[in-house]
Structure 1
Amino acid sequence: MSKRAAIAGLCLLVLVGAIALSLAIGARSIDLETVWHALTAFDPSDKDQLIVRTTRVSRTVIGVLAGAALGVAGALMQSLTRNPFADPGLLGINAGASLAVVIALSTGLATGFAAQVPVAFVGAGLAAILVYAIGARGAAAGAPVRLALAGVALTALLTSITYAVLMVNESTLDQYRMWVAGSLTGRQAEDVLPLIPIVLVAILAALIASRQLEAVALGEDAARALGVNIAAIRTVIIVLVTLLAAAATAAAGPIVFVGLAVPHLARALIGASLPWLVVVSAFGGAALVLLCDVVGRVVAPPGEIGVGITTAFIGGIIFALMARRMKVVEL
């Protein structure tokens, strides 16, 4: 077995462990045997099994979905821009989703989480399309630097509009702050089922397109010599990043750090092979979100801290230590 396959297998084992912890740990701890029975021989009269089936399965599914999507989106974004500190948020996805949710809340179009999912997804997608439309004009059209600059500018604009709406609508602010913190609670797996095939297809497409993206990373001249259509592969990758990040944001709100640090750490472990990077980032991103969610459940009983806050806090510390102890991984 190769080193990369071994690391991918280890990450998968960590993810399985994180899933087990997510199903067992919370305000009420449940033993793994009861968790297993809840999944394989459900008894609705058992309160512990009922908690597992009605609450924890949903938040675990959403955590895996959001974490895997963010991990792969970050890996693609960093490879596309050749910047190890690039994040899917560069395309204005979080800002677009946030503004869409705020407008929907203030107009009464989306009062519950189930209604917020498609609204956030559409808002994120429209923001990314606008960024690409701006970055694709003029000289060096579609270049990663132009897209990043367009994303930063659009994010600032959309964020200012979002805050302007919130300033004049306090009731919307109360609802919005629960969404913007990033959380796996108050959600049902049924609400995000349409996002699951989107994420799975996008990850599969990322694996298929990864070899061509690797060629682009060698430089445009080398990529053209290998017969790669640079404009086409950039467009494909941007579409995939948009779908993945939009799905994650719609499902769990804006969760920071995962799309930044997980691919960077994965690259340090397995090197620059993009297909393996996609696999490891998917497993690692899902495991990180679930583990941070578990930590958020137990650090402030009887309440809990949203996963978006714990990923920012724990992930920031880890990333700072990585920056001190290792060189920035070259792309």
Structure 2
Amino acid sequence: MIGHLYRAAGLVAAALFLLICLGSSIIFGATNFDLHTAWEAFIHYDESVREQVILRTTRMPRAFIAAAIGASLGVAGALMQALTRNPLAAPSVLGVNAGATFFILLASMVFSLSSMQVLMWISFLGAAIAAAIVYMLGSMGRDGLTPIKIILAGSAMTALFSSFTQGLLVVNQQGLNSVLFWLTGSIAGRSPDMLLAVLPYMAVCWIAALIIARDINLLMMGEDTAKSLGQRTALVKIVSAIIIVVLAGSSVSIAGPIGFIGIVIPHVSRFFVGMDYRWVLPYCALLGAILLITADLVARFIMIPEEMPVGVMTAIIGAPFFVYIARKGITKT
């Protein structure tokens, strides 16, 4: 009982801190605004007031996009680590982000597609193909799917799709400048319409992840144990894979391949609440949102008046953590 109260209190504290981060992201930047102006822009929007226009059309969408993407990548990383039983698993490591990135660039640069809805579905396709190939390669051999094999397969697919992406940019150098910032992972300049296009899919997947959390707990006990208790393990894995693909693909379609959130956040969440995924997943959503908003906020002040892409900031945070986890030699989550 005490454990549940502690976890619930932590969840409330994280939610409150997320609200503070959202407010800070809206107020602070190259130009700072006061709380009253931000509140007026949110409640009583007046298009004739320049400050409110900036807040409503730039700062607020940016903050909410960062929160949605951070939450999505955190949840996707937790599910991926649970399915593969690998603490290093994440969409950015197992080639899912790289596959989505390549397919989006292929569609936009070769076939001149620009509709957000179309690019989003193409992103889903690329993420799904990359995930399927990685799973197939990682499952080959007598031992089946192992943590080492899945990481090697993911690294290979990441390198392959990254090479394809670079090849596209070499062939079409005119489009390089328009996508270079996106390729490093960025949420700057994104419109509210971009978030609205993917938010329903993200929201459905967040809810679906919470619904299957109990099944993930059972699956973590071992596939044989889960089957003996009546669980349809294949169905749970398929649903989890769909959630991962949609969340990662949605994030890439808006902000490009932002890495390391899916690695860092699940470990931090498990540190606070243990292995119960009924708590891990909500914590991942909140902490992932907090991390990406904070990283984006810090990125605004490093090279004023220019901005550092948020993907660079998450790499600075996540790369040492990745090395730490790898050196510890953890083989199961």
* Gap regions ≥5 residues in structure 2: none
Residue in structure 2 matched with residue 93 of structure 1 by the alignment? 96
Q: Structure 1's 242 and 113: CA in aligned 2 closer, same or farther, altered over 3 A?
A: closer
Q: Does 1:231 align with 2:234?
A: yes
8 Å Cα contact 1:102/1:172 also seen in 2: no
TM-score by length of 2: 0.88
Deviates more, 1:70-79 or 1:137-146: 137-146
Q: Distance in 1 between the 2:299 and 2:57 partners?
A: 19
Supply the AA of the counterpart residue of 2:46.
D
Q: Structure 1's 316 and 159: CA in aligned 2 closer, same or farther, altered over 3 A?
A: closer
Q: Distance in 1 between the 2:186 and 2:140 partners?
A: 37
Q: Does 1:177 align with 2:166?
A: no
Q: Distance in 1 between the 2:303 and 2:257 partners?
A: 21
Q: Distance in 2 between the 1:117 and 1:320 partners?
A: 29
Q: Percent identity?
A: 37
Q: Distance in 2 between the 1:133 and 1:330 partners?
A: 20
Q: Structure 1's 97 and 300: CA in aligned 2 closer, same or farther, altered over 3 A?
A: same
Residue in structure 1 matched with residue 218 of structure 2 by the alignment? 215
Post-superposition shift, 1:158?
A: 2.0
TM-score by length of 1: 0.89
* Gap regions ≥5 residues in structure 1: none
Q: Distance in 1 between the 2:300 and 2:113 partners?
A: 27
Q: 2:291 aligns with which of 288, 292, 302?
A: 288
Deviation sequence 1:98-131 (CA, Å, 0-9, x none): 2123323432514687875454344323333444
Deviates more, 1:98-107 or 1:285-294: 98-107
Deviation sequence 1:260-299 (CA, Å, 0-9, x none): 1011011011111101110010001011111111111122
**Helix, strand or coil at the partner of 1:158:** helix
8 Å Cα contact 2:299/2:308 also seen in 1: yes
8 Å Cα contact 2:124/2:245 also seen in 1: no
Q: Distance in 1 between the 2:322 and 2:169 partners?
A: 33
Residue in structure 1 matched with residue 81 of structure 2 by the alignment? 78
Q: Distance in 1 between the 2:257 and 2:48 partners?
A: 36
* Alignment: residue pair count: 329
Q: 2:21 aligns with which of 18, 28, 32?
A: 18
Q: Does 1:47 align with 2:40?
A: no
Deviates more, 1:5-14 or 1:129-138: 129-138
Q: Structure 1's 58 and 117: CA in aligned 2 closer, same or farther, altered over 3 A?
A: farther
**Helix, strand or coil at the partner of 1:38:** helix
Q: Does 1:195 align with 2:203?
A: no
Supply the AA of the counterpart residue of 1:166.
L
Q: Distance in 2 between the 1:115 and 1:221 partners?
A: 40
Q: Structure 1's 92 and 320: CA in aligned 2 closer, same or farther, altered over 3 A?
A: closer
CA RMSD of aligned residues (A): 2.8
Post-superposition shift, 1:238?
A: 1.1
Q: Does 1:249 align with 2:244?
A: no
8 Å Cα contact 2:71/2:289 also seen in 1: yes
Supply the AA of the counterpart residue of 2:292.
V
Q: 2:66 aligns with which of 45, 63, 68?
A: 63
Residue in structure 2 matched with residue 151 of structure 1 by the alignment? 154
Q: Structure 1's 327 and 15: CA in aligned 2 closer, same or farther, altered over 3 A?
A: farther
Q: Distance in 2 between the 1:86 and 1:323 partners?
A: 11
Q: Does 1:2 align with 2:5?
A: yes
